Structure 1
Amino acid sequence: MKAISYRETGDPEVLRLTERPVPEPGPGEVRVQVKVSGVNPTDWKNRRGSRPGESLPFPEVVPNQDGAGIVDAVGPDVTGLEAGQRVWLWEAAWQRADGTAQEYVVLPARQAVPLPDSASFDLGASLGIPALTAHRALTVGESGPDRLSPGALTGRSVLVAGGAGAVGHAAIELARWAGARVITTVSSPEKARLASAAGAHHVVNYRTENAAEAIRELVPDGVDLVVEVAPGPNAALNQAVLAPNGTIAVYANNGGEELTLTIRPHMVTNARYQFVLVYTVPSQAKDHAVADVSAAVADGALRVGEDAGLPLHRFPLASTADAHAAVEKAVVGKVLIDVA
């Protein structure tokens, strides 16, 4: 089978098209014929490492956490999945050598989730890390909820920073599905169009208007929850618009590693900062996220494509290096690799 792999850290050029034997599933595992592989920022960050030429935890690594395809074989002790079933995949390469940038991948059955016939492989490959991250960010508030479903966020306001990104897109759609009032910030008219297409009720361009004033005008009592991609640059804005007992869920470090907070205003409002890394989220919370995201897919609440606010950028398997480079350059939309 064809696969993309690398043997040391570095630029996208370390990725090579190789031939590998088709793997066999062991106990509790399934083999999936990958149709589409999704690329996330952590995929290129893991490939790059802290410096070029770094040794890897495995002799050879196939990148990419997310994907979608068809179950090809089922190992012993697997229930609920069978050959021929359509599935979406998550965290395929987390602490493992085999991600989804290959024609067949073997992984724990828990990480292959049934994909309805009504959902495309493109959507399936776009779920994984973005949707699970968004779910976690939307469910860490002190007063809950810890699950998402229609009506779970009714009466709450959510601010999504960077609504045109993959996680921001998923957060808008999941929050809308759960009944929240959704506000998002963007940096251009084009991104505003995408965020509106995703379902945001209100879009604020922070480059052309005073974001704090605009958001406070929309939600005078403040927002209950912030889904934050750039905590450093947005610290003052979040302080200005957060409601009492509100939560700021941080899932990325865009704009730098440093975060400076003014203590007293946050103390007065009993503000909560919650940091989110989906890979190390507690197991039960992750199971809940997978179940809720699947329910949202079944309801048609999660969508991809230009009309849905998340443009798709496609690459063939042999051009995985170009796909990684596109994500590294922060292309707007979702980068997918056509494997099969």
Structure 2
Amino acid sequence: MRALSYSAYGDPGSLSLTELPTPKVAPGAVLIQVHRAAVNPVDWKLMAGGLDGMIDVVFPVVPGWDVTGTVAALGPDVPEFQVGQRVAAYARKDVVSGGTYAEYVAVPATSVAAVPEGVSDEAAAGLPLAGLTALRSLEALDPLGPGDTVLIHAASGGVGHLAAQLAVAAGATVLGTASEANHERLRALGVTPLSYGEGLPDRVREHAPDGVTAVADFVGGVLDDTLAVLRPGGRHVSIADPGVAEAGGRWIWVRPDGARLATLLRLVAEGSLRVEIDRVFPLAEGAEALALSRDGQARGKLIIDVTR
């Protein structure tokens, strides 16, 4: 099969288009013929060796944890899916090796969800990691409801724009930080936009004089601002700063979860959750997509079309 892979830690330029064996399909697993994969910051962080102390790596590595495609084969005892069915998955495994920037990927069935009619390949590929991260973060806030005012750091980002929509749908009042260029995008989602940086606590209190009841941090480096605006007894989570645990918060690391992914896909199909797509690259240009993600130049999800 065609795949983008790297044989040692490095930068996106280390990726090469190669021919690798099609993955085997273990019991309880699904072999997906990949239509689209999505780029996430964790892909280039893994590639640079940033998580070497946490996750085992077997080279050559095919990067990518987000996927949508069709079921090509089933391992023993997987009655919930059928060959030819359209599916998506957050395809993280215990060992980094066989990812989604390839024509085929094998994934545990518990990580897989059927894709409803009306959901594009691009949206289905861009949703799993970011959407599940957003959902798990909000669930850790116990959950949000009409009585809450929540501050979302990096509300226009890949995870933040999904969390913002989910929080608004739950009835919470949502304040979100973003660059001024993205303020109109947040207003369109029902979010009150705030510029990030120095003076943020004062800007928050202009809209929430008594502080906020919850904070979701999707950028890191903002713990002092979080604590400055959080009401006594408030809840806060971060996906980027493990130090929140020492300040009474939760550090979130998303888990593969096919059932929760199915819930998110239904919301997309119903039109109540939108996945913003920046651009789509053919497989051979995947290194360019990773470089754009690393350099912070994307406005929305970067998608790899593995069929091209």
TM superposition score normalised by structure 2: 0.89
Find 1:300's aligned residue among 271, 276, 282. Answer: 271
Change (3 A) 1:78 1:316: same
In structure 2, do the counterparts of structure 1 residues 231 and 84 end up closer, same or farther at CA, with 3 Å as the change threshold? same
Q: 1:205-284 alignment to 2 at 5 Å?
A: 205-206=195-196, 210-232=199-221, 234-253=222-241, 272-279=248-255
Letter in 2 for 1:223: V
Contact 2:152 2:217 in 1 (8 A): yes
Q: Larger % of strand: which?
A: 2
- Say whether the 8 Å CA contact 2:177–2:194 is kept in structure 1: yes
1:4–1:320: 8 Å Cα contact kept in structure 2?
yes
Alignment counterpart, residue 335 of structure 1, candidates 297, 302, 308:
302
Distance 2:50 2:156 in 1: 28
Q: Is the 8 A contact 2:88 2:112 kept in 1?
A: yes
- The answer to whether residue 281 in structure 2 is matched with residue 315 in structure 1 is yes
The answer to whether the 8 Å contact 1:183/1:200 transfers is: no
Tell me the distance in 2 between the aligned counterparts of 1:329 and 1:73.
37
Cα root mean square deviation, aligned:
2.6
The count of corresponding residues between Structure 1 and Structure 2 is 303
Give the match's secondary structure for 1:166.
Answer: coil
Matches within 5 A, 1:34-183: 34-50=34-50, 57-141=57-141, 144-145=142-143, 153-183=145-175
Give how far 1:246 is off. Answer: 0.9
Instruction: Report the alpha carbon displacement of residue 123 of structure 1 after superposing the two structures with TM.
Output: 0.9
Structure 2: distance between partners of 1:94 and 1:169: 28
Seen in structure 2, the aligned counterparts of structure 1 residues 94 and 334 have a Cα distance that, compared at 3 Å, is farther
Gaps of 5+ in 2: none
- Give the letter aligned to residue 273 of structure 1: G
Instruction: Compute the displacement of 1:71 (Å).
Output: 1.2
- 1:191-202 equivalence runs, <5 A: 191-197=182-188, 199-202=189-192
Please list the CA deviations of residues 181-206 of structure 1 after superposition, one character each: whole Å capped at 9, or x if unmatched.
21101122x22122233x14311123
SS in 2 for 1:102: coil
1:237 deviation in Å?
2.2
Deviation per residue, 1:30-69 (Å, 9 max, x gap): 11111110111111111111599xxx73131110000111
TM-score normalised by the chain length of structure 1: 0.81
CA contact (8 A) 2:37 2:101 kept: yes
Whether the aligned pair in 1 keeps the contact of 2:131 and 2:162 (CA below 8 Å) is: yes
- Among 308, 322, 326, the residue aligned to 2:292: 326
1:302-338 CA-to-partner distances (Å, cap 9, x unmatched) read 212xxxxx34122110111111111110123211111
Query: Partners of 2:129 and 2:79 in 1: how far apart?
Result: 24
Q: What amino acid maps onto 1:79 in structure 2?
A: P
